[in-house]
Amino acid sequence: MFKNDFLMREIENFSKFVIKLFRQENIEFETDQEHQNSIEEDLLFYRFQEMVYAGKINEAENALFELIEKEPKLGYLQLTEKFYSEVVKMSDEYLQRHHYSREEIFESLDQIEQIYEEKYSDSANGIGKK
């Protein structure tokens, strides 16, 4: 139970990081483009969710990282949050059976945060600088 609470706080902290990026980055959306991006991200989430429930957690995470490393869109941060919120719901036994651990969640969130800090820190005058 303590681990789950801690993980949920980590995901919440990640969400705060996401909000910080959105607030400091000047983003202009076109209604049609925003809608299209939302559909794309929903489809990706459902694809990742299917993989997670099929026991392919590592493969889903790798696909998520490929997307982010290729083009770290701000919209992918919400996808990331949804993905890890889903993974954290899994039991330790399920995760272990599929060669995944809760520690990997922390490591992955840190890596993703670094990717976005590098991408957006210059354009947003020091976002993420500690």
Q: Give 77-126 pLDDT, tens digit per residue.
A: 889 999 999 999 999 999 999 999 999 999 999 999 999 988 887 655 44
At residue 42 the predicted structure's pLDDT band, cuts being 50, 70 and 90, is confident
127 occurs within a structural domain: no
128 occurs within a structural domain: no
97 occurs within a structural domain: yes
Range of the domain at 72: 2-25+41-120
CB count in 10 Å sphere of residue 2: 6
Does residue 59 surpass a pLDDT of 70?
yes
Our count of domains for the chain comes to: 1
56 occurs within a structural domain: yes
